[in-house]
Amino acid sequence: MGQKRYDVEGVQVGQPITTYANGKEIQTAITKKRIHEPVYLSKLNFEGDGQADLVHHGGYDKAICVFPYDHYAYFEQFLGTSLQAAAFGENLTVHRLVETKVCIGDVFQLGEAIVEVSQPRQPCVKLSLKHGNPKLMKEVLQTGYTGFYMRVLQEGMVFPDQPLILMEKASHSITVHEVNEVKYRQVHPARLKAVLEVEALANTVRASLEKRIQHI
């Protein structure tokens, strides 16, 4: 049985820009452009990529923002418009690698790089501002169509036309979807404890869940 391969729809990067929304000036790097040449992936990001809010974005556990292309049709219907590349500000748009299937700690080869799923993506208000729909962020959370982040275990060149190849499936069954459920809904304490046992879970998510479990 061969390794599972997931086609990449696109690789996108972008630098922070200044824009205006609701009469306020904001800094954001949510607008990213697709690249068609090989690009270097470091422990922190793709070459040419950046973040405006370094408190909530970027860092080792958020080196790559991934979003499934599978959800585009749903959100096109929700927004009533066709969506362009990197519509959700993601670096990597993938096929079939959805939140209910991918586990925290799954390891993939991406070109020369080795990457690992670290946590769900937490959508911010800038996503709603980008699409001019204040209900979008809430819809992303309610559907669980959040996308997710990857950390980089081994740096290297990434080629836009190459797939993500599953190298090592996590030994547990805690998916990105399950972490979203635990984060945003009232769940049995046993589910929360099971998520906290996942070694590959990003530290910021772990810290927030540990605070919750103290009040159960």
pLDDT value for 36: 95
CB contact set of 208 (below 8 Å; sequence gap of 6+): 183
pLDDT value for 41: 97
CA-to-CA dists, residue 21 to 104, 116, 122, angstroms: 34, 34, 20
Q: How would you class 173 by CB atoms within 10 Å of its CB: exposed for 0-12, middle for 13-18, buried for 19 or more?
A: exposed
CB contact set of 14 (below 8 Å; sequence gap of 6+): 29, 30, 31, 32, 33, 48, 49, 50, 86, 89
Rg value, the chain, Cα: 17
> In this predicted model, what pLDDT tens digit does every residue of 105-152 receive, in sequence order?
999 999 999 999 999 999 888 888 888 899 999 999 999 999 999 999
For the chain, which ranges sit under pLDDT 50? none
Q: Measuring CA to CA, which residue among 95, 92, 117, 111 is closest to residue 174? A: 117
pLDDT value for 59: 83
Tokens of 81: 């418009």
Produce one character per residue of 93-123: b if its CB has 16 or more CB atoms within 10 Å, e if not.
Answer: bbeebbbeebbbbbbbbbbebbbbbbbbbbb
Tokens 């306020």 map to which residue?
24
The amino acid at 132: G
Look at the pTM and tell me if it is higher than 0.85: yes
